[in-house]
Chains A and B, each alone.
Chain A
């Protein structure tokens, strides 16, 4: 899944490849991803952020926990407008991906591109950590 957070004249695209089929990972696995940036020819990227994180979805306010974060600002390390990148990190023991009724926990890899000016673009790719079956409602109260 690729998501644009900011619309601009050009719509970049980040193709992400995970090292595991079906993006299914287990705790303590090493997650390795490779990505390719396309569609932003003519624009200069001033920084790239790689992150592996979990966030909550559902009725509550969104909470976020960053497990891995890397910001590349060195011009020598930055890829050109069409280039590839890769990063690897071991996954933690918790929290596991969870498909609850009012609380959901999702893991994802994000690549955020910062262009000259104040424009940025984020590409988010969800994966699964652990094998927790979805929950079903028994009773609820407010």
Chain B
């Protein structure tokens, strides 16, 4: 028997890792997670959950007299040079168990331990020497007695959640690996449904019913237009820039505030940490820069005004023409506003440990260009145009790592602001597809890339 090769050849000239070794490594990883989950689960159940469960269910009730009280100290080494000391109230009680009288120090749940000695003393003061109280003792070991019962839900949650998550991830990964062991890639792909359920990182792509690998278009037709049938949703790169700058400014300045509060408290206490102050100066500069960039993006995003695009029908079919309505709100003059139809390919691939996405526009057609567009708050600019999907065009395609996307793109050059672009995705079906409700009305006089201004 020979060992599988570490590398195997893929299509083209790319070498890829051996699938057998990959499955072995995957199984080893998930098996380790599963074992760790079972180990920690058993540890937490036997050390915390089971004793607490026994106290609440197996211990017998009795009456006791409090004879003495004190604090039990627990000291745990905390390397490298410290120790952690915790305190727990303890009571010496006399009680009758299994027909005989016992005297014993009460045990409590270990969670009663507190590092605050004063708090432990306050709890201890609630008990009066010589008074009677209810206690519960272990019938199997009558010298074990407690004066309080109950559950520490936080520990129970921890003991279930942490090992539970490890068992779930490890177990599902192991089952997925075992299910695919020895199967060809076609066999795995043909029975991918259950395996995808077991894979928490799997991102199944939704396909239009009856059209494998053609994306669903429900999200693109759920907004009615004011003049034409549908208002297309927008994908604005500027908005993502705005969100990015906003998040960066927020997180950076939150760190800055924490550092500044620490430095301020030091200052009030009469200490000056020069290193911290030296660190704060460049941090403050970056924080202010982040806020400025965010405000600039915000002003830019709101100053240009919203762009809307309405379309007469959807999904689109090759060789057909569709009326579109372009509307631009806001104020001021836009030197040029161009509407184009584009086909973009998108590929996602791994480079080392990074996941990268590359896009390439492989087809582009200008639909309409408008010059000196004047929009006002009370009357937006509106113009109609006709979009033609070329006959024999590739349909929209999507899979886990690859996509072919059609989109209408509006590019504007405002008078006083940087250029902007707004993207409106559309879905194109395969040629000759008898799409549901795909009965586009022939637009205008049949000329492609024709446009006319109707109002402003």
Contacts and interface: CB of A to CB of B under 8 A. Distances in A.
Nearest to A5: B8
Contacts of A67: 212
Contacts of A27: 430, 432
A22 interface: no
B448 interface: no
Contacts of A130: 430-431
Contact of B400 (A51, A54, A63, A101): A63
B213 A94 contact: yes
Given A93-B211, A112-B184, A57 B397 contact: no
Given A103-B404, A130-B430, A94 B212 contact: yes
Nearest to B355: A61
Interface residues of B, number: 47
B78 interface: no
Contacts of B356: 142
B187 A71 contact: yes
A70 B313 CA distance: 40
Contact of B399 (A56, A66, A136, A139): A56
A94 B211 contact: yes
B395 to A, nearest CB: 6
Interface in A125-142: 130-133, 135-142
Contacts, number: 146
Interface in B53-70: none
Given A98-B404, A138-B361, A65 B212 contact: yes
Interface in A102-142: 102-103, 105, 110, 112, 118, 120, 122, 130-133, 135-142
A66 B399 CA distance: 12
B164 to A, nearest CB: 32
A66 B189 contact: yes
Interface string B1-44: 00000000011100000000000000000000000000000000
B348 interface: yes
Given A53-B189, A93-B433, A103-B397, 5 more contacts: A49-B187, A61-B348, A94-B213, A95-B430, A133-B392
Interface of A: 27, 49, 51, 53-54, 56-67, 69, 71, 92-96, 98, 100-103, 105, 110, 112, 118, 120, 122, 130-133, 135-142
12 contacts: A53-B189, A57-B12, A61-B400, A64-B185, A94-B213, A100-B345, A101-B345, A102-B345, A103-B402, A130-B431, A135-B345, A139-B361
Interface of B: 10-12, 182, 184-187, 189-190, 210-214, 342-343, 345-350, 356-364, 392-395, 397, 399-404, 430-433
Pairs of residues from A and B, 9 with the lowest C-beta to C-beta distance, nearest first: A60-B347, A63-B399, A69-B190, A140-B360, A135-B362, A59-B347, A95-B213, A61-B401, A51-B186
